[in-house]
Structure 1
Amino acid sequence: MTSTEILNKIRQIQVNNDRRYFAKGIFPSYRKNPLLRKSIPDDNIFFSASIAYIINSLNTHFTENEKEIAAYIINDIKPNFQDYTNKPERNSYNFWQKKPGKHFPNGILYSKLDKFVLPDDIDTTSLVQLCLQPAYPDAFKTKQTITQHANSVKNYIKNGHENLKHLKAYSTWFGEKMPIEFDVCVLSNLFLWVNNNNFELNENDFESLKLIEITILNSLYFKSAFKSSPEYPNTCIILYHISRLISSTKYLGHCKQKLINDINLALQKTATPYEYLLLTTSLYKLNCIPQNKSEINISPEIISHWWFTAGMLSAFGNSFIQKLAPMSLFHYRFYCPAFNLAIFLEYKILTYIHRK
């Protein structure tokens, strides 16, 4: 497939979404669990915002025709963001719509229980704001709010890697009742947004960057992907996020070679086409040519691979429960065919650039 064909395919999925489950402009995504026999349509804004970020980041490499298609995609996404904001005064956003019963959409049980309503999160918020590009004062309001939810401000982290618990890094969640959670992928997305706004770094920023640095220098994602990133518990997905951060911002450049070494090490162990796709794309982002330059083709396995997870036990600090928390049985896996096509589009364009 050419880049134009991939973009057209992404646009086709957006236009032809099932309006029983998704509003105009929302990309269809789904969640699944090993106990479920089928995927459940999941109305979230996260994947649509993620697709917008990738497409915007590739825009300078598009032809004029491709730029037109990209503009249609982005413009149809934007009107939906207002339905996923909890507190407009802080400009933060939620994975799901904030209307009653919209959490775990189309679910039988969890959507009926308020206990499973999620607070806004810095991951979704960062990606949405990167698409909307709010004025600096509006973005800075959000930045000030995030600081209130850092480790040790009101609560202390109980989970994750032991050698990171002392850091005053940011938690994934805005909610005061949610446990503090460190997630290196979430923080990587956050610093894409921090860099975009050129915010002056505060203590919590430096501590959060230190967390990512220690994760890289100690290869903690090889020791436990779940402890490094409970929302994205896959080493290859983690390496992709960190590569995107380092290649797109002014942060952590001194860790680049160590990261490249770890990606090459992961390539020796990777078992799936999707992981190979992510690792190869990560190397290209870091201006490194993969030793094995085998062509990757789009496949059903790539299209349906999960990207994001909801760990139903990850919020609990009990030691026994934490032993169970990484097990896939207790996870909902979220996937989005159009998002995976966007990842493949990124790979195709970066491959072309590095082979010229």
Structure 2
Amino acid sequence: MKNRYNYFARLILLLAIAVCLLQDLCAQNFPSSAEILERIQALQVKKDSFYSPGMFTSYRRYARKSNTYKADDNIFFTAISLFTLKQLRNDVEEPEKILIDSIYSKGINSFYKYRNQKEQPIYNFWQTDTPVIFPNSGWLNWFDKSNSMPDDTDDTVMILMALQANDSTAKQVHELMRQHANLKNKRVKNTFKNYRDIPAYSTWFGKKMPVDFDVCVLANVLYFVQLNQLTWQKEDSASVDLIRQVIVDKKYMTDPAYISPHYSRSAVIIYHFARLLGKYQMPALDSLKPILINSARELFRSTDLLMDKVILNTSLLRLGAAAEIINSNGNITFDDIESRKFAFFIGDMATYLPNTFRGMMASTGIGKFYFYSPAYNNVLLLEYLTELRKRGY
């Protein structure tokens, strides 16, 4: 009888602890999903002489000037925001669906200015109708036309997924990406030696650009291939193989800027891996989820950035693990969410140099820029809260 009593007492205690943990996880004092969507809608450009209507504003900070932010009209943050909102639509309540539809319908109208000028269905980071590099950069803009960036796979696949491109367009872009993959015309130089003979996709479409490996870009490309049910090619397998080797070697933790020059941070890299693996089965990568889960927990406990904690928790949930508790003193405000300390994307000119010079230039911070978008921070938070709700929290 006594043993039975002790058993039930322990069971009740464990249930009480579980309930408290769930309450703590849910009661993290975030704005509601409706409030977040209303904020995103308020941040969407209505009329502006610099940004196109429907875009989300974004800003760029030079690494060597910690407090100076300049407006940057790249399409990247608008593309990834609309893509994410479109993915979340079926998991929110009806009033929130209406808000997403309104935001989406206004946002997609800005994409055409960034499309390839030869009418190929590929896109650029900056406008292509009037080429500009690093907008609002003063003397750098003298070189806009001669040094404009080529179209890239990352912006292209995110925009096409946001637009829900048709089958023929997806197949055409898939073939264009294959034509610019490593070893097709050039060999990648700015990565580790044991990765250089992997025929994975490059970041760039332009033939004048060196081949560039970025594992976050590869994760987005593979998401695009799977979403559109494209015929699997050797470049797809190679891209999976490169990601696998990066995870096994733990380079995403020890050398994040080297294997992901355009995202550069371990938390953001794990977020990209988890987004892919949370949506699609990848036999070569699925067995590595425990490694990513352990790394996500390690980073969560070592960071003070709210938005890092948010994307790491989203990653944990997508990898099939429990989320960590985000502690806060009082309500979390939009000022907290939209902190400029969180950079999701990084531009670094040192990326395009061979290994011999890349490390030297990267260490100086010359040519390195941090990109930030307040609206996208809110999209990431909405994504996290939606993932929690899907799992019954």
TM interval, short-chain normalised: over 0.9
**Which whole-Å deviations, capped at 9, do the CAs of 1:279-326 have from their partners, x for residues lacking one?**
111101223113545469355454122111110221011513433225
Distance 1:329 1:268, change over 3 A: farther
User: Which residue is 1:351 aligned to?
Assistant: 388
Which segment is superposed worse, 335-344 or 110-119?
Answer: 110-119
What is the aligned partner in structure 2 of residue 196 from structure 1?
Answer: 227
Q: 1:49, 1:131 within 8 Å by CA — same for their partners in 2? A: yes
Is structure 2 residue 163 aligned with structure 1 residue 132?
Answer: yes
**Residue correspondence of structure 1 range 1-20 to structure 2 within 5 A:** 1-16=31-46, 19-20=48-49
Residue 338 (structure 1) aligned with residue 375 (structure 2): yes
Q: 68, 90, 98: which one pairs with 1:38?
A: 68
Query: Residues 15 and 119 of structure 1: is their aligned pair in 2 closer, same or farther, counting only changes over 3 Å?
Result: closer
Give the match for residue 256 of structure 1: 289
Superposition pairs of residues 23-172 of structure 1, within 5 angstroms: 23-36=52-65, 37-87=67-117, 89-113=119-143, 114-172=145-203
| Alignment counterpart, residue 322 of structure 1, candidates 321, 338, 359 | 359
Distance in 2 between the 1:22 and 1:146 partners?
Answer: 29
Q: 2:3 corresponds to which residue?
A: none
Distance (whole Å) between structure 2 residues aligned to residue 353 and residue 321 of structure 1 = 43
Q: Distance in 2 between matches of 1:153 and 1:87?
A: 24
Q: Distance in 2 between matches of 1:298 and 1:285?
A: 25
Deviation at 1:205, TM superposition (A): 0.9
Indicate if the aligned counterparts of 1:147 and 1:170 stay in contact, CA closer than 8 A.
yes
Q: 1:31, 1:301 → 2: CA distance?
A: 19
State the Cα deviation string for residues 50-95 of structure 1 (Å, max 9, x = none). 0011111111121111111100111111111111011564310001
CA shift in 2, pair 1:158/1:302, >3 Å: farther
Q: 1:202-251: per-residue Cα shift (whole Å, max 9, x none)?
A: 11110011011111122111121111100001110101111101101222
Residue equivalent to 2:236: 205
- Report % sequence identity: 31
Cα distance, 1:276 vs. partner? 1.5
Q: Gapped runs of 5+ residues in structure 2? A: 1-30
Range moving further from structure 2, 283-292 or 76-85:
283-292
Between the aligned partners of 2:307 and 2:386, the Cα distance in structure 1 is 17
Deviation (angstroms), 1:197: 0.7
Give the distance between the partners of 1:327 and 1:85, measured in 2 at CA: 34
> Residue deviations 1:247-272, cap 9 Å, x none?
01222323222221221222233242
TM-score by length of 1: 0.94
Conserved in 2, the CA contact under 8 Å of 1:103 and 1:111? yes
1:224 aligns with 2:255: yes
For residues 363 and 205 of structure 2, what CA distance do their matches in structure 1 show?
A: 23
For 1:144 and 1:125, the matched residues in 2 are separated by 13
Give the distance between the partners of 2:216 and 2:363, measured in 1 at CA: 16
Once the two structures are overlaid, the 10-residue window that deviates more, 212-221 or 120-129, is 212-221
Taking structure 1 as reference, are residues 135 and 321 closer, same or farther at Cα in structure 2, changes over 3 Å only?
A: closer
For residues 124-161 of structure 1, the C-alpha deviation after alignment (integer angstroms, 9 at most, x for no partner) is 00000001122211211111111111111111111122
Q: Which of 1 and 2 has greater Rg?
A: 2
Write the distance in 1 (CA, Å) between the matches of 2:324 and 2:135: 44
Number of residues paired by the alignment?
A: 355
**TM-superposed deviation, 1:109:** 2.3
Q: 1:88 to 1:195 in 2, by over 3 A?
A: farther
Q: Does structure 1 conserve the Cα–Cα contact (< 8 Å) formed by 2:307 and 2:377?
A: no
One-letter amino acid of the structure 1 residue matched with residue 388 of structure 2: T
Partner AA of 1:260 in structure 2? I
Seen in structure 2, the aligned counterparts of structure 1 residues 55 and 327 have a Cα distance that, compared at 3 Å, is: farther
Quick check: 1:49–1:128 contact (8 Å CA) kept in 2?
yes
CA distance in 2, matches of 1:33, 1:74: 31
Q: What code does the residue aligned with 2:120 have?
A: R
Q: 1:340 to 1:197 in 2, by over 3 A?
A: same
Q: Contact 1:29 / 1:44 at 8 angstroms: preserved in 2? A: yes
| Cα distance in 1, alignment partners of residues 388 and 234 from structure 2 | 38
Give the corresponding residue for 1:21: 50
CA distance in 2, matches of 1:151, 1:132: 28
Indicate the RMSD between aligned Cα atoms, in angstroms: 1.9
Q: Hey, what's the Cα distance between the residues in 1 that align with 2:315 and 2:64?
A: 33
Q: TM-score, normalised by structure 2?
A: 0.85
